[in-house]
Amino acid sequence: MTLSFKPVWFDSMGAKSSSTLVETPDVRILIDPGVSIMQKSFPASMNKKMGWLKQGEKAVLDASREADVVIISHYHYDHFTDFDARLYKGKRLFVKNPNEFINYSQRGRAENFLGNICKEFGEIKFKSILEKNKEKNYPDPMSDIPLAAEQDFGDYNKRRRELLEEGRERFTGLANSWNKNRRIPELEFEDIKVEFPEGKNFRFGKTKLKFSQPLFHGIEYSRLGWVSATMVESGGKRLMHSSDLCGVYIEDYAEMIVKENPDILVLDGPPTYLLPYMMNSINLDRCIRNICNIIKNVDSELILLDHHLPRDSKYRERLEEVYALAAKENKEVTTAAECLGREVAVSAP
């Protein structure tokens, strides 16, 4: 074995999650140990939704017992659990940096989560660990995504410019708050170690663990904040977990995935269930183009396209172009449920 993986729980199985267990000869890694109940519009009874939620929570807890390392890409409850000490005891945690590239709500969730770690494993108060911050200059993140910045959307360009300007103003406000907040340090107690990994590489024997820089959680300046993608490499085999790009709106992120060229790609899909209110057709078309670009240009033996996408009973119809291209390119594009030989929950009777 050089590298193997198991989808622990995903949206296609009936509860919101993208929890994944990766194993190499050197280390076992659990990515995003969180599960949340499906939205009200999801076509299933509350009893079914609650049943899937409980199954997902148990699956994540069971997977954590196998893991040496736990990764939390961001502080949404379908990606982390706050708080169950059984998930985290004895682990090395790589968690989203709570000090920067984070919105207000996730900063609060991070404080609560890390406060629980201090209480449970260090028997100290969270406030006692906070440090004086050093002011830092945060350049406009659009400079990091030139392909997205130069996109031409025709009649939508004017509205897009307005939205980008609003986003820059929000970003400036957030950056000011990052400089004003007390700094949360990395933590280490007897039974746990917590590190902030964005933009860094780590080694476990011959296994390489690589984290992206902070990426927008969706479109440019997304109100949802930022996430970090994970790459695991062992024995010449590579797995990439995209976290929450929301279907790869941003062209530069698609190119990043193509450049990494993983053998196994765990890719989250666009939230088509939010059409037309919180997602428009222009951005859906953009996602489809970017996913097709990835399918054409990566050598992946498996593309697990899940999370967000199977919350919509029409997801295959809406992404017909993606599945048609995958068939033409002889690429396996499937959901976690199908990968495990299960029926996709949104289409189950």
Render 128-167 in DSSP notation, one character per residue.
GG-B---------GGGG-HHHHT---GGGHHHHHHHHHHH
The answer to whether the beta carbons of residues 97 and 198 sit under 8 Å apart is yes
DSSP state of 43: S
Chain position carrying tokens 């790459």 = 231
Q: Which residues pair with 203 in a beta bridge?
A: 208
Chain position carrying tokens 């997801």 = 315
Q: What does pTM read for this prediction?
A: 0.97
| pLDDT tens for each residue of the chain, 349 residues long | 799 999 999 999 999 999 999 999 999 999 999 999 999 999 999 999 999 999 999 999 999 999 999 999 999 999 999 999 999 999 999 999 999 999 999 999 999 999 999 999 999 999 999 999 999 999 999 999 999 999 999 999 999 999 999 999 999 999 999 999 999 999 999 999 999 999 999 999 999 999 999 999 999 999 999 999 999 999 999 999 999 999 999 999 999 999 999 999 999 999 999 999 889 999 999 999 999 999 999 999 899 999 999 999 999 999 999 999 999 999 999 999 999 999 999 986 6
Which CATH superfamily hosts domain 4-347? Ribonuclease Z/Hydroxyacylglutathione hydrolase-like (3.60.15.10)
Q: Cα–Cα distance between 177 and 158 in angstroms, integer?
A: 29
- The ranges assigned to domains in the chain are 4-347
The answer to whether the beta carbons of residues 344 and 307 sit under 8 Å apart is no
